Amino acid sequence: MATLKVPQPLPPVADDCEQLRKAFSGWGTNEELIVSILAHRNAAQRKLIRETYAQTYGEDLLKALDKELTSDFERLVHLWTLDSAERDAFLANEATKKWTSSNQVLVEIACTRSSEQLFAARKAYHVLYKKSLEEDVAHHTTGDFRKLILPLVSSYRYEGDEVNLTLAKTEAKLLHEKISNKAYNDDDFIRILATRSRAQINATLNHYKDAFGQDINKDLKADPKDEFLSLLRATVKCLIRPEKYFEKVVRLAINKRGTDEGALTRVVATRAEVDLKNIADEYQRRSSVPLERAIVKDTTGDYEKMLVALLGHDDA
């Protein structure tokens, strides 16, 4: 479930644009006005605001926001205002330029989006960067990491619910054999994770647990410091239990010494219209603290206000 709250009735888009223009005018910026509008408009409405703002004032709203805002607040507003495919392309491009943990962002985009959403992100990548996501991933990764991530970002999975139980049993056995032999980079192991539908993978992993006594991710913890194993576990979690994956990202972001604003911003901006309510519920179940309260404790100022608004708790 999403956490985004859109007012009813909705003000005309021309009014939103005029108010945003006012927020940028005069001495200082009216950040509260920006939050009150943008944090309460869905993707289609934000897109219309951007188009109308450009037609009315001859300026890209994103450029105006980047000029007026700073630091974590600016990044959150920027990511949120982007179209979802552009946002995924932007995050993926950033991730290709970094190493280690950024590989997880690529896995996240490849495995928590629908086939159409991932395809839209790849098309947006072409438009924004004049090259393909696949070539950047191939260029910036090596070895086992490239072997796993490249097929994941290139995938176009079947989205139906049909399941082949015979295949699930066969592939569960195959996965168990490969893990027992520590053949984590095996071609068939990666092929199953990169190509099978979510429903099929779910059936395979349910059979794996029934047949071999525990979740596959427990068996993939043989060496907790192994980064490739960590990436395999993230792949499985993103495909099967995305809300648990994102809850852990948020929990680690908040519970570190010093907040990991990058991770917190990414999760809130990408999931507020998808399943942030489920992620918040999972966080409260694990931590016995409401997510909005943890965020208020750990963040400040306009950044905090925007996060809380996107969580649907303006009054927190």
Query: Residue 101: its pLDDT value, please?
Result: 62
What is the number of alpha carbons within 13 Å of residue 9 lying toward its C-beta? 4
Together in a domain, 232 and 245: no
- Is 298 within any annotated ligand binding site? yes
* Structural domain includes residue 228: yes
DSSP letter assigned to residue 272 = T
Residue 227, marked binder: no
Q: Is 77 annotated as a binding residue?
A: no
User: 87 and 145: one domain?
Assistant: yes
- Residue 262, annotated as binding a ligand: no
Q: Please give the full DSSP string across 209-260, using - where no structure is assigned.
A: HHHHSS-HHHHTTSSTT-HHHHHHHHHHHHHH-HHHHHHHHHHHHHHSSS--
Q: Are 227 and 185 contained in the same domain?
A: yes
Q: Of the candidates 130, 129, 235, 219, which has an alpha carbon nearest to the alpha carbon of residue 180? A: 219
Q: What are phi and psi of 276, to 5 degrees?
A: -65, -30
Q: Environment class of residue 13 by beta-carbon count within 10 Å: exposed (0-12), middle (13-18) or buried (19+)? A: middle
The residue from 222, 238, 254 where one domain ends is: 238
> Domain containing 182 — which CATH number?
1.10.220.10
Asked if residue 213 belongs to a known ligand binding site, the reply is no
58 marked as part of a ligand binding site: no
2 in a structural domain: no
Same domain (yes/no): 304, 261: yes
Based on the fold, state whether residues 135 and 118 are members of the same structural domain.
Answer: yes
Mean pLDDT, contiguous 10-residue spans, the chain (316 residues):
93 96 85 96 97 96 92 96 97 85 88 98 98 96 94 98 98 98 97 98 98 96 90 97 96 81 95 97 96 94 96 74
Number of domains into which the chain is organized = 4
Q: What is the per-residue pLDDT for 266?
A: 97
Residue 158 falls inside a structural domain: no
| 301 known ligand binder | no
Contact assessment for residue 271 and residue 246, using Cβ atoms and an 8 Å cutoff = yes
Output DSSP code: residue 312: T
Residues 167 and 233 in one domain: yes
68 assigned ligand-binding residue:
yes
Q: Is 256 among the annotated ligand-binding positions? A: yes
Residue 134 lies in a domain: yes
pLDDT at position 316: 36
Q: What is the pLDDT of residue 224?
A: 83
| Reported pTM | 0.94
Residue 135 lies in a domain: yes
**Residue 266, domain member (yes or no):** yes
d(CA 209, CA 15): 55
Which residue, 238, 257, 286, sits at the end of a domain?
238
The verdict on 273 and 230 lying in the same domain is: no
Instruction: List the domain range (segments joined by +) for residue 45.
Output: 11-68
Do 231 and 282 fall within a single domain?
Answer: no
Q: Is the previous residue joined to 9 through a cis bond, with omega within 30 degrees of 0?
A: yes
Which amino acid, 175? L
CA distance 131 to 56: 32
pLDDT of residue 314: 74
Tell whether residue 299 is among the known ligand binding residues. yes
Question: What pLDDT score was predicted for residue 256?
Answer: 66
28 is in an annotated binding site: yes
Q: Which of 197, 222, 238 is the last residue of a domain?
A: 238
pLDDT value of residue 23:
93
